Every structure is written in structure tokens, then in C-alpha cells.
Structure 1
Amino acid sequence: METVILSAAQMKAEALRLGFSACGIAPADTVDATNESSLRQWLATGKQAGMGYMQNHTEKRLDPRLLMEGTQSIISVALNYYPEQLLPKESYQLAWYAYGSDYHDVMRAKLTSLQAFILAQFPTSVSRIFCDTAPVLERYWAWRAGLGWVGKHTQLILPSAGSCFFLGEIFIDQPTDTYDIPLPARCGSCTQCVNACPTGAIESPYVLNAQRCLSYLTIEHRGDIPPAAGSKIGNKIYGCDECQQACPWNRFATPCQTPELHPSPTLLAMRKNDWHTLTVAQYKALFKNSAVKRAKYEGLLRNITTASSHAVANEVAE
């Protein structure tokens, strides 16, 4: 196969034209020793909770060339989802990322367009797109590609932009003319995200225990929510943004400009009584093409019941 050199500047310009917030490129290589050790330790201590898939394909997570043979470059992109309009405080709350359409679909469409742009110029190249759909250490590669750094809440933080971003990648079997340099961490001595976690799931800076995380418990977890965590659920019925809301870098966040990620008028109009009487048909209509389907109807009702029961218990205690 004839060797071609991809223009990093052209790919980044096209990524921005497509609506991505940032784009960077890293050479494909094995994950560095520090991050490999952290991943293996995290898995060995069971902090992935019931997410058994995190234990699969560890070697591919640590070497992207095993996931797609011949990979030479990893193009990493970020898409802003910081909401322009928030759900009313008096209503139950969803994680910001779930306000609009399923991010997998939105990201996949934009990544496919970027991939097509590359293929139009280099038709002999081989590439694959990913968005939380394969054993890829997305935040690591976004860091390697110079998009930002991983904060103490384990989310990627973009300088002067915050942490409310979806990540995606294109693996390609060609080199680029330039590669980006990782950014140093800029969290300093700040621990506001650690202190803000309702359940203490951020056990120490950069270490998240999913067994205690409300995002995991209200989305991925099947079965009852443990009472200790349930008592801290507040009005959250899908996910949790407490650590992001506390992060000082998110004061730089700007509302997303992707219409598909905006909340629908129906969702914005929902009040607690509406959630308490939510039917299967209403659920399907409200969350058609939404990431909230991940929790399923039964899981969402469990979360609503948990939030409601603890709210009543707190009122009685007061």
C-alpha cells in the first residue's frame, strides 16, 4: 500500500466545520506504564462494579493496534453537550449528557462524515470510528491528542471549556504530518469535585469507585439501589453531574450548538407528578432516540421511587 501523509490541519479544520469542539491527533502506541498500572489496579480492586465488560479485552485497551491491525494514528474529537437550558430545579433531574438525542448516534454521524472526508482524499486508507462502542481508553487518547487533561473526577477537561464533552475516535492506518502534545494537568490543589461527590465515590483524586457512584447506580446497575447511596440520590433519576457542577473549569463552559443534543419541550415541561405517573408509552415517546433507554423503563421507575421515598423520609425527619 502506498504511504500517504495525512494533513493534520485539514482534518482539524473539517472536524470543526462538522461541529466538533476540538480535534487532536496522536500516534498509535501502547498506553504508558502509569496509566496501564492504574487501569489494572482499578479492575483488580473491583471498582468497575457490575460493568463486567470493562474487564474484557484489556490488552486491546492497552494497545489500539490490537483493536485495528495497522493503526498508525488516532484522531480524537470532542463534542460539547453543556446545556443552554436546564431542567427546572423543582423537577427530577437527568444528567446533562442525556438531555437530547443519544450521543452515540450524533457522534457516529459526525465521525462518519469526517471519515468520508479523509477517504475522499486517501481512498486506499483503512479506518474505523469509535464512540464509547469498543475497548478504547477514550480519555487517555484525548489527552494524548492534546485535547485536555483528565481531572480528579476522572473526566477529561478541555482548557477554557470545561468537561462537558462527548469523545470519539478515528483509528487510521496512515501517519499524519504532525502530532499533538499532551497537556499537563491543571487542577492544582483543587479538590472541589472530590468533595462534591454525594456518595464519596471519588475515593481519592483520579480514583472513581463505580460501586458508590450515582451515575453507575442509576444507569448501569440492575436491582435495588443500596440504601446508603439511595439516601444521597436527592432528585437525580438518571446520572449525576455533581462533580462537574463543582469543577471550576466549567465556569468556562458555553452552551452546545448541536440541536440534536438540546432537550425537547416535553422533557422541559415534566414535573414530579408527571414522572410519578409515567407510563411505558409515555416513556417510549419521551425518550425515543435517547441515551436514557440505557436504564430501561423499570430502572427509571426504580430511580424515581428511590428519589421520592428518600425525599419523603427527609421531610418526616425534618
Structure 2
Amino acid sequence: MNLAKRTKRVREEALRLGFDACGFAKAGRLETEERRLEEWLNQGRHGSMSWMENHFDKRVDPTKLVPGSKSVVSVIGSYFHPDHERQQQQVGQPKIAKYAQGRDYHKVYKKKLKKLFAFTEELLGGLNGRVFVDSAPVLDKAWAVRGGLGWIGKNSNLLNRDTGSFCFIGEMIIDAEFLYSTQVTDHCGSCTRCIDACPTNAIHEPYRVDGSKCISYHTIELKERIPEEYRDRLGEWMYGCDICQDVCPWNRDAGYTQMEDLYPRDKILDHDINFWKELDNEQYDALFEGSAMRRAKFEKYKDNVAAVAENLNR
């Protein structure tokens, strides 16, 4: 089977599984991204996320993470849903980032990628490699760009002309070769809406984000109490933040997800601050079972709610 045909078959299977696009890139060291990552870490832009410093060589070179690998096959899929448009207009209620309102994407994507891997293995008569969903030192956005799935926007998110930035990324790093994709050009132009809208100035210059200032960092990754200087800037964001994506013109007509597991769960929508303040640990675990929100432990959640309550009562 020639490279063009195998590439076409794998892409078709990825789309059948519910992904919106599939791209192919030759595995190798990401030299440009390596320099940028090293600079970002040296400047302390990762805050307390010390795990970002680990496995640096594997992070910038998939052939060290998966010995013998020849290709990185990237997939993206929207998590955007019609209900998100309604929620986006709401004021006076605590907000949860759109990506965390459905089932944990790690589980949804990993299951589908394993099916794609099995299909590819059968198609080629054998295959070695691994699948990843934001679960190992892989620069997934860089590989999605190399696979022709979009460009990196000024807010550092992957942007695709059809799905916007409301999409998840996964990849197979495998020892098979394909017909590699052509990268797309940057379509942000002179727009600075994401930079202008960020309440913490986390996007300190185009294409550069200080993770330690981001609302998502303060409501998810930061283990300590949210510093006073950032508490009022959270606004209504109880978990994560979508501000820089909500204002992006490329998300105006973002395509809806094809995966029902990623639909927003009714049980976590449209609650006022009193509901969230009264939630106990057991109720929290039950409400967010199988959700990406479980990344924030209960004590972290309580501090987030307290900060949002302060903001809503001003």
C-alpha cells in the first residue's frame, strides 16, 4: 500500500470516529519550539507547574519518548456545543470553562485513539507506538501545526478555520511513515482582541503567554490560595477561563462537536453562587465524577468559589 493510500485510509477512519481533522508530520526534534520552551521556563512563566521542567528532551523530541517512531499523527475535535452560546451571554453566575463541562476529554479521546491505533495496526499488518492525550511530555499544539491542522494564535491556542480554538488535541506517535501534511499559514493578522480582553495581562505580547498570570492557572494548577492581586480579576470564573477564546473572531462560527460525551452536562449548568458555596466534599465528588474538573481538589474548588462570591457581591 503506497503512502498516499494509507494516509487517506487513516484520515478517513479518524473522521469516522468523530474527530474533525487528522494530520501527519514526520517525527523529529522541534528545534524552534525547544528554544522557546527553554526561554519560557527560564523566565518562570510556568509558575508552580514544575512538572513542565521534567523530561525536557522527550518533550521536544518524540523519537526519545517513543524510540523508533517515524511519524506523529495528530487529531483534533471540537468540544463546542449550542448550549455554550447561551451560557456565554449569562452574567451574575459562576462560570466553568467550556472544555470541562462534559466528560473528561482524556478518557473520551484515549478510547477513540486506541481504536484508531488498532485500525492502523491492522491496515499496515503491524505497528509500534503509543497514543497520547495531554498525558505525557508531548508538545501537542506544535505537532498539530506541523500536521497542518491549524496555526498558533496570539493567545497561544491552536486555531483551525473550521473548529476555531474550542478543540482538543490527541496524537499517535508511531513507527510508520505517511504522506506528510502541509502547514497552514497564520491568519490572526493585526487582530489583538485576545490580548486586549485578558484581565490579568497573561498574554504579555503576541504569541507569548505568562502561564503564572492566567486565570486557568490560578483556578486549576495553583495549589495555594489565589493571591489577593488576582482574586478580583477572576470575575465569575470558578474553574478555568474562556475569555481569550470567546472574543476570538475565529470562534464566531466554530463547528459543534460530534462527540456526545463532550456535551455539557445538565447537572452542572445554570447554578447560582449559593449552590456552589453549599456543596460539600461528597457532593462535589459525585457531581464531577468522570469530569476534568476533578483535577482541582475540593479545597482548591472552595477557594475558587470564595473568590467568585466576593466578586459577585461587590
| Fold similarity call, TM over 0.5 | yes
Tell me the distance in 2 between the aligned counterparts of 1:307 and 1:272: 8
Q: Is the partner of 2:200 in helix, strand or coil?
A: coil
Partner residue of 2:61 out of 35, 60, 63: 63
Partner deviation per Cα, 1:166-186 (whole Å, 9 max, x = no partner): 00000110111x110111111
Q: Is the partner of 1:24 in helix, strand or coil?
A: strand
Shift of 1:269: 4.2
Partner deviation per Cα, 1:74-133 (whole Å, 9 max, x = no partner): 100001111321345442100000011101000101101101111112242202000101
Instruction: Please show how residues 5-24 of structure 1 align to structure 2 within 5 Å.
Output: 5=3, 7-24=6-23
Partner residue of 2:129 out of 127, 130, 137: 127
Instruction: Please show how residues 192-231 of structure 1 align to structure 2 within 5 Å.
Output: 192-231=193-232
Shift of 1:252: 1.9
Partner deviation per Cα, 1:203-227 (whole Å, 9 max, x = no partner): 1111111111100110010111111
Tell me the distance in 2 between the aligned counterparts of 1:124 and 1:268: 45
- Counterpart of 2:259 in structure 1 is 258
Q: Is the partner of 2:189 in helix, strand or coil?
A: coil
**Identical-pair percentage:** 40
**Amino acid aligned to 1:190:** C
Tell me the distance in 2 between the aligned counterparts of 1:266 and 1:135: 33
Tell me the distance in 1 between the aligned counterparts of 2:163 and 2:292: 23
Partner deviation per Cα, 1:258-309 (whole Å, 9 max, x = no partner): 1111122211242221111011122111100000000111111110001112
Tell me the distance in 2 between the aligned counterparts of 1:49 and 1:142: 25
Tell me the distance in 1 between the aligned counterparts of 2:71 and 2:104: 27
Query: For this pair of structures, how many residues does the alignment match?
Result: 309
Question: Given the alignment of the two structures, is residue 84 of structure 1 paired with residue 82 of structure 2, yes or no?
Answer: yes
- Counterpart of 1:240 in structure 2 is 241
Tell me the distance in 2 between the aligned counterparts of 1:269 and 1:158: 29
Partner residue of 1:150 out of 149, 152, 175: 152
Tell me the distance in 2 between the aligned counterparts of 1:91 and 1:262: 20
**Amino acid aligned to 1:23:** C
CA contact (8 A) 1:83 1:255 kept: yes
CA contact (8 A) 1:79 1:165 kept: yes
CA contact (8 A) 1:128 1:172 kept: yes
Report which stretch shifted further, 3-12 or 69-78.
3-12
CA contact (8 A) 2:77 2:168 kept: yes
CA contact (8 A) 1:4 1:122 kept: no
Report which stretch shifted further, 68-77 or 158-167.
158-167
Mark the CA change 1:256 to 1:90 in structure 2 (over 3 Å): closer, same or farther: farther
Tell me the distance in 1 between the aligned counterparts of 2:297 and 2:264: 19
- Counterpart of 2:46 in structure 1 is 48
**Amino acid aligned to 1:117:** F
Q: Is the partner of 1:135 in helix, strand or coil?
A: coil
Shift of 1:4: 8.2
CA RMSD of aligned residues (A): 1.5
What TM-score, normalized to structure 2? Answer: 0.95
Mark the CA change 1:213 to 1:11 in structure 2 (over 3 Å): closer, same or farther: same
